[in-house]
C-alpha cells in the first residue's frame, strides 16, 4: 500500500530537520514524502535539500495552511494521504507501519492518539482518541488531525480543505467526511505523533472552542 506523507512549513530552520529525521527513521519505506514550503527566506530549503527521502518539494508563497495542505493533496500519488508538520515528529519508528497496517478494504480513514510536548520535550497534554460514533462532533469530539490518514479517493469524492477557514478547516473537513458523508473509519488506540505546543496548534484549539 503506497502512502503519501505531507509536511507543510515556512521559515522552519529550527524544527524541520527533526521532522524529516523522524520520517527517515520509520521502519517502513512504502511512502512518498512531499514538502510544501510557503516560500521560506531562512535556511529551511537548504536543510530540506540535504535529505534524499524528500520526493517532492514545492516552495512558493501561499494563503495559509489549508492552501498548503491542498497543494500537498494535489501533488500526492499515494492511495493514502497523511500529514506530519514541521516541528512535529512520529512517536515511534513504527508509527507509519502501524497506520498502514490498520487499513483494510473496509476502511476509508484511520486516526489515533498523540502527545503534546514543549521544547524541553516535557509532556504537557495527551490527546486520547476514541472510535467515531454518529453525532460525536456535536459533543466536542474530533480526531487528532495530525494522526488522521485518509484514502485519496475520499478527497476526490468529497472535497479537499475549505481555504476560507483560517484555523478550523481540519475540523470542518473531518466533520464533512465522517459525519456528513459517513466514510468508514478506524480508531488506532496507540500514540502516533509527538506534537509541539504553540503556533497554529494553539490558535486552532482556541478557535475550535468557539465553534
Nearest Cα residue to 193 out of 82, 92, 90: 90
CB 107 within 8 A of CB 184: yes
pTM greater than the 0.85 cutoff: yes
**Interatomic CA distance for residues 192 and 103, integer angstroms:** 15
**Interatomic CA distance for residues 68 and 94, integer angstroms:** 27
Instruction: Give me the tens of pLDDT residue by residue for the chain, a chain 211 residues long.
Output: 599 999 999 999 999 999 999 999 999 999 999 999 999 999 999 999 999 999 999 999 999 999 999 999 999 999 999 999 998 999 999 999 999 999 999 999 999 999 999 988 899 999 999 999 999 999 999 999 999 999 999 999 999 999 999 889 999 999 999 999 999 999 999 999 999 886 444 433 333 332 2
Amino acid at each position: 500500500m503506497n502512502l503519501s506523507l505531507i509536511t507543510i512549513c515556512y521559515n522552519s530552520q529550527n524544527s524541520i530537520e527533526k521532522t524529516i529525521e523522524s520520517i527517515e527513521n520509520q521502519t517502513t519505506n512504502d511512502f512518498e514524502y512531499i514538502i510544501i514550503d510557503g516560500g521560506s527566506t531562512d535556511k529551511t530549503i537548504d536543510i530540506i535539500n540535504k535529505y534524499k527521502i524528500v520526493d517532492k518539494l514545492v516552495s512558493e508563497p501561499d494563503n495559509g495552511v489549508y492552501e498548503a495542505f491542498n497543494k500537498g493533496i494535489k501533488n500526492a500519488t499515494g492511495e493514502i494521504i497523511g500529514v506530519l508538520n514541521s516541528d512535529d515528529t512520529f512517536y515511534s519508528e513504527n508509527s507509519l507501519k502501524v497506520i498502514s497496517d490498520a487499513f483494510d478494504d473496509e476502511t476509508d480513514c484511520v486516526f489515533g492518539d498523540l502527545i503534546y510536548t514543549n521544547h524541553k520535550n516535557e509532556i504537557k497534554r495527551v490527546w486520547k482518541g476514541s472510535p467515531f460514533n454518529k453525532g460525536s462532533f456535536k459533543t466536542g469530539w474530533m480526531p487528532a488531525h495530525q494522526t488522521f490518514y485518509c484514502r485519496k479517493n475520499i478527497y476526490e469524492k468529497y472535497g479537499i480543505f475549505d481555504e476560507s477557514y483560517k484555523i478550523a478547516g481540519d475540523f470542518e473537513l473531518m466533520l464533512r467526511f465522517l459525519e456528513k458523508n459517513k466514510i468508514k473509519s478506524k480508531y488506532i488506540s496507540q500514540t502516533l505523533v509527538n506534537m509541539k505546543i504553540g503556533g497554529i496548534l494553539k490558535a486552532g484549539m482556541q478557535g475550535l472552542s468557539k465553534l
